[in-house]
Chain A
Amino acid sequence: MQIKLDRKGEVARLVLGGRFDFSSHREFRAAFAEALEMEGVREIEADLGQVDYLDSSALGMLLLLREKAGEANAKVSLSNCKGVVQQVIEVANFQKLFIIR
């Protein structure tokens, strides 16, 4: 999975692309650890627009992100969810846990 990290003010954005599954574990953790270390970050946005596959391990990783972000007092949002990705997020009712943009 490709991950790009950028920053817009108080929001650190992780732009993810490709398959988000159990093999993305290490890169994802490394990426959000980096994002959380940035100064003055209040929100981590996971941009899923380029993700074409998302399974339950990916959902698990988002939960982990949420926990770590919570410890750093940052919110987590999910953006550009469409197609299959959006369906998975909806069935799991993750809109109850994350801000959806």
Chain B
Amino acid sequence: MNQPMKILIAEDNEIDRTLLGTLIIRFGHQPVLARDGQEAIEVFRTESPDLILMDAMMPVMDGFQAAAEIRKIAGNKWVPVIFISANSRDEDKIQVFAEGGDGFVAKPVNQRLLEARIGTMQRIVVMQREVTAGAEQLAQYREENEQEQNLARHLLEKIIRADRFDDKQIERWIHPAKYFSGDVIAAEFTPNNVLHVILADGTGHGLAAALNVLPVIEVFYGMTKKGYGVSNIARELNRKIRQLLPTERFVAATLAAIRFSDHTIEIWNGGMPAACYVDEGGAVLREWHAAHLPLGILDDRDFQLKTEIYHWEEPGRLFLYSDGLPDAQNPEGERFGTDRIRQAFSGKACEDQFWYLVGAVNTFLERENAPDDISVASVACGMGFGVSDTFPGIPAPAGMVVPSEARLFVKLCAAEIRSFDVLPWLISWLSQLYLSPRKCQELFLILSELYNNALDHGLLGLDSALKSQPDGFGLYLDMREERLSGMQQGVIEIELERIQDGSDPFLKIRIKDSGNGYAVEAAPEPGGDDMETPSGRGITLVRTLCESVDILAKGSEIVAVYRLQ
């Protein structure tokens, strides 16, 4: 049967008290006795009984008062009180229950009835104890869960360096769900001043969601800082997520590369709502629908790298958002939908579009939290040529000596040119020569310029003049895409050599392509007149930064010498 209970008997009549005590022992429980209401309270305090048999009429303090006091002392713990009284008319019983009694037994006490009542009360007490224990445990779990959520948020904020990025060009807004659901927005410049932005949405909620996206952010920053392109970053992210996370977890993401020097936007979209470029009047000029599966699903062989590039000819804004935005529901259950998104910026000036959208969502939602994070990022795309940012090169530790003679040679064939990101690879080699950030950036610019010329003009035979024509840029990009994928033969050789001339260190850069040569000097790039910005273009830039530039073999080989100190 059940465990023995400790039962408090409060009864002023000595004979009745003793009798009840004996009965309780016979029922298998342990009695503690009190002679009146006051004593009952004291005994309750010291003995903590599980159940009370209380005589309604007692001197000093009656049963009802005592019961009320005892309830206060007991607090959350429920201790049933069975009143015993000779008065057993209906009104008396009603009074017992009105005063908070849990049971009533008439005097003279019927032994079996009392036993049955006590049995019932015991069952209820056991249930109540279980429920309370359950509730306490639940409260504890909830607290632990909240702590974990806070940790996740903290970690994520540190990793996104949300505090760091106060750029006026990028606006971002995350309206978090009740349980953080894993949306992240991060942005960083490559050494070549290309702005990379990622908006990622991991499956799940809470800590699980944060865990999904942490590896994404680290890889994004690492590769961007090294100068990798968006396709390669997407592929690496896919690999990493697939490797780390279980089958049912994936990360939808939009990766964008915005080149202010070229006015191009390149996007890889896996499973996210369409990104869009909106002009100054709020009209959508271009959309990038999800062409790919989210990250972490396909294995490396099947992964698709293809991005879509757009060249902007008028100022505007790029908008990226997660599915929380169109899916957001108002109290009536209506979806915000894509139409309202478009409406929000229609007719609005560029500076205002983002905040109109945010305002429209807040108004629509009325109440506090949606079930899914709502995230929006927006990048202003003007007609200027971008702001220079310093490349964080590695400063030389004091007294560090590097080899005065060092050489790197790499030869790329057609397939390698298509898929190997050689520039970050070169830069990582260079960074081991302990150059200043400024130097590193200049070298990156020089190498990009020379390499891209060798590829675009030397091997693919494209003409830069096309870019300056109306709609020519789009055509240029399409032709480039076509020729690059169709290229069967083609070789680019790159040689970097650190040489010492007396006490002056130099880097000799040689790039050779297997083409027939092209008019190097006649390759003007848009914005080439603007000598003030380091992202000014063409061979002119290279000449400005280098000690010397020699064009050999009708343009298919260029040797530049750059002063390292």
Contact = CB atoms under 8 A, between A and B. Distances in A.
B252 A56 contact: yes
Contacts of B252: 56, 92
* Chain B at the A interface: SS class: loop
B293 A93 contact: yes
B203 A93 contact: no
Interface string B279-308: 000000000011111100100000000000
Nearest to B274: A91
Interface centre among A59, A84, A92, A96 (most CB of B within 10 A): A92
Interface in A41-99: 55-57, 59-61, 63-64, 67, 84, 88, 91-94, 96-97
B424 interface: no
A91 B252 CA distance: 10
B203 A60 contact: yes
A64 B293 contact: no
Interface residues of B, number: 23
Interface in B251-291: 252, 270-273, 289-291
A57 B204 contact: yes
B250 A63 contact: yes
B488 interface: no
A55 B252 CA distance: 12
A92 B271 contact: yes
Nearest to A68: B247
B203 A92 contact: no
A91 B271 CA distance: 5
A99 B204 CA distance: 25
Contacts of A96: 293
Contacts of B292: 93
A57 B203 contact: yes
Contact of B297 (A22, A55, A84, A97): A97
A63 B294 CA distance: 12
B323 interface: yes
B247 A63 contact: yes
Nearest to B372: A55
A69 to B, nearest CB: 12
A59 B323 CA distance: 14
B290 A59 contact: no
Nearest to B335: A84
B201 interface: yes
A61 B293 CA distance: 15
Given A56-B203, A59-B203, A94 B247 contact: no
Contacts of B272: 91
B293 A60 contact: no
A95 B290 CA distance: 12
Contact of A63 (B273, B297, B335): B297
Interface centre among A84, A93, A94, A97 (most CB of B within 10 A): A93
Contacts of A55: 372
A67 B293 contact: no
B563 interface: no
Interface in B366-382: 372
Nearest to A93: B293
Interface residues of A, number: 18
B33 to A, nearest CB: 53
B296 to A, nearest CB: 9
Given A61-B248, A63-B247, A64-B248, A94 B204 contact: no
Interface in B512-535: none
Contacts of A64: 247-248
Interface centre among B205, B252, B372 (most CB of A within 10 A): B252
Contacts of B248: 57, 60-61, 63-64
Given A60-B250, A64-B247, A64-B248, A93 B290 contact: yes
Given A93-B291, A96-B293, A97-B293, A60 B249 contact: yes
Contacts of B335: 84
Contacts of A57: 203-204, 248
Contacts of B250: 56, 59-60, 63
Contact of B273 (A56, A67, A91): A91
Nearest to B205: A22
A94 B294 CA distance: 9
Given A60-B248, A61-B248, A63-B250, A94 B203 contact: no
Contact of A56 (B201, B289, B291, B293): B201
Interface string A20-58: 001000000000000000000000000000000001110
B301 to A, nearest CB: 14
A60 B247 CA distance: 7
Contacts of B205: 22
Interface in B290-331: 290-294, 297, 323
A97 B270 CA distance: 14
Contacts of B247: 60, 63-64, 67
B365 to A, nearest CB: 18
A54 B290 CA distance: 18
Question: Nearest 5 pairs between A and B by C-beta?
Answer: A60-B248, A56-B203, A92-B271, A64-B248, A93-B293
7 contacts: A22-B205, A91-B271, A92-B252, A92-B293, A93-B271, A93-B291, A93-B293
Interface of B: 201, 203-205, 247-250, 252, 270-273, 289-294, 297, 323, 335, 372
Given A84-B335, A91-B271, A97-B297, 20 more contacts: A22-B204, A55-B372, A56-B203, A56-B204, A56-B250, A56-B252, A57-B203, A57-B204, A60-B203, A60-B250, A63-B248, A67-B247, A88-B323, A91-B273, A91-B323, A92-B252, A93-B270, A93-B291, A93-B292, A96-B293
